[in-house]
Amino acid sequence: MNTATPDTATIEVIRKTWQERPPAANPYLHGRMTRALEAFAGKGFPTTRLENWKYTDVRKLAASYPEWLRTAPDETATPDLEPLVGPDSVRISFVDGIYRPDLSTAGDLPPGIFAGSVSELLSVEPALEDKLGKLAQDSDSAFVALNTAFAGDALAIVLPDNVELQKPIYVRFHSSTSQLGTQPRVMVELGARSRATLIEHYTSGHEAIVNSVTEIRCLENAALNYYKVQDEHTDSWHTAAQYVELARNAKLTSMHLDTGAGLARNELHVRLAGPAANADCKGLFMGSNNQHIESRINIEHAAPETQSRERFRGILADKARGVFNGRIYVEPQAQKTAAELTNRNLLLSKGAEIDTKPELEIYADDVKCAHGSSTGQLDENSLFYLMSRGIEHDEARSILVEAFAGELLGDTGIEAIARKAQQSLRALRKVEQ
């Protein structure tokens, strides 16, 4: 009953577009892409009849997809890409889905660290084949399958054991061509006891379709700080999924900032696969006008003594609609798990909407799991307090909204990202007035 009826006409056009593209040189990759295309064709675009897509309707996106996939990228575009983080970072830039060495500084990476294409990596390390696509399964989601089929080559970043990378790696995906569909794909592996910071930043100059998939594997005792900033053009469609697997004692600290796109949907999947693995995930999404922003997290505790904490907040103005879904899944063997999920939302105007669903699914008994969710408007007492001290109504509201976000942004490791969030908040407040 709960299966989407694939729109055969759309699928056929997408299949034709795929066939017209030059096949991947690497036979393994080509086979993978072929299988992914079939996986997508079997599923079709999801409909709101599917539980996981209940609140997000992608019919309009699906209608534009075939054509936008055919749009030719501009290989010579020279957009002014002001990096989000300072010069003290390793930059890797993609414009219209094409790697741009002229806008990148991957050469600055210390020796031993690989940052390049997957096909390049496959030629030196064929064992990689067993790892690719293992975390993000094409059978799980039509969008992952679509990404695998069209992404072809992916960005691979591999840190060997015992490397502590001081500089953050800043990966920028920019769409400069109007009505272009891109499928960014990133694969990251951190060796045992390695540490790194990775920032993914998505922007577009015009309306675009962006469908990204990131796979991250952290081996024993590795630690990754992960940031994803989505600041697409307000007419863009952005769908993204990150799949993270943490081995024994590995740690993920993540922050998601979603401010752009007309329709955005982000899924963060974290699997705590090794004992004592730890995940601390934060997210802030904000929308105005008719934006539709969905943020999903799926945390799987698969080993004993794993810990996770998820804090997500949404701020919605005008007619914007926010969707939050948080799921904590505890497998039977994951005893002594501690998990805590909170979602707080602020509705700033009439017409704004939030649909939230924090889920717990627990099969182990010796656990401490909690989730909480609250939604409301700004607290009248706080507003009164500020106004009674001579602060104008609008200013007082601004302070409170910033404070609401500030509780999350307080310990953002990279200040530039916190600043970016504050900036978006101010823009949101302007729209609201």
Residues in contact with other proteins by the rule CB under 8 A = 1-2, 51, 332, 335, 345, 347-377
* Cβ distance to other proteins smaller for residue 379 or 415: 379
* Cβ distance to other proteins smaller for residue 361 or 411: 361
* Cβ distance to other proteins smaller for residue 350 or 389: 350
* Cβ distance to other proteins smaller for residue 166 or 381: 381
Minimum CB distance to other proteins, residue 327 (Å): 9
Picking from 182, 185, 191, 134, the residue whose alpha carbon sits closest to that of residue 156 is 185
* Cβ distance to other proteins smaller for residue 234 or 349: 349
* Cβ distance to other proteins smaller for residue 105 or 373: 373
Minimum CB distance to other proteins, residue 247 (Å): 24
Tokens of 204: 């577009």
> If DSSP codes are grouped into helix, strand and coil, which group holds residue 276?
coil
Minimum CB distance to other proteins, residue 433 (Å): 15
Minimum CB distance to other proteins, residue 241 (Å): 21
Minimum CB distance to other proteins, residue 372 (Å): 5
* Cβ distance to other proteins smaller for residue 2 or 433: 2
Calculate the CA 371 to chain-centre distance. Answer: 22
State the Cα angle at 142 between 140 and 143, rounded to 5°. Answer: 105
Q: How far apart are CA 149 and CA 165, in angstroms?
A: 32
First vs last Cα of the chain: how many Å apart? 45
Render the burial of 381-402: b for 16+ CB within 10 Å, e for the rest: eebeebeeeeeeeeebbbbbbb
* Cβ distance to other proteins smaller for residue 360 or 431: 360
Q: How far apart are CA 134 and CA 155, in angstroms?
A: 16
* Cβ distance to other proteins smaller for residue 257 or 341: 341
Picking from 186, 121, 137, the residue whose alpha carbon sits closest to that of residue 32 is 137
Minimum CB distance to other proteins, residue 397 (Å): 12
* Cβ distance to other proteins smaller for residue 64 or 335: 335
Minimum CB distance to other proteins, residue 2 (Å): 7
**CB under 8 Å to 355, separation ≥6 — which residues?**
54, 55, 321, 322, 323, 324
Tokens of 375: 């939604």
Q: How far apart are CA 279 and CA 284, in angstroms?
A: 17
> If DSSP codes are grouped into helix, strand and coil, which group holds residue 88?
coil
Amino acid at 420: K
Minimum CB distance to other proteins, residue 60 (Å): 21
Minimum CB distance to other proteins, residue 301 (Å): 12
Minimum CB distance to other proteins, residue 271 (Å): 19
Contact at 8 Å (CB) between 343 and 324?
yes
Q: How far apart are CA 263 and CA 326, in angstroms?
A: 19
> CA torsion sign, 389 to 395 to 400 to 404?
negative
Q: How far apart are CA 245 and CA 189, in angstroms?
A: 10
Query: Whats the size of the chain, residue-wise?
Result: 433
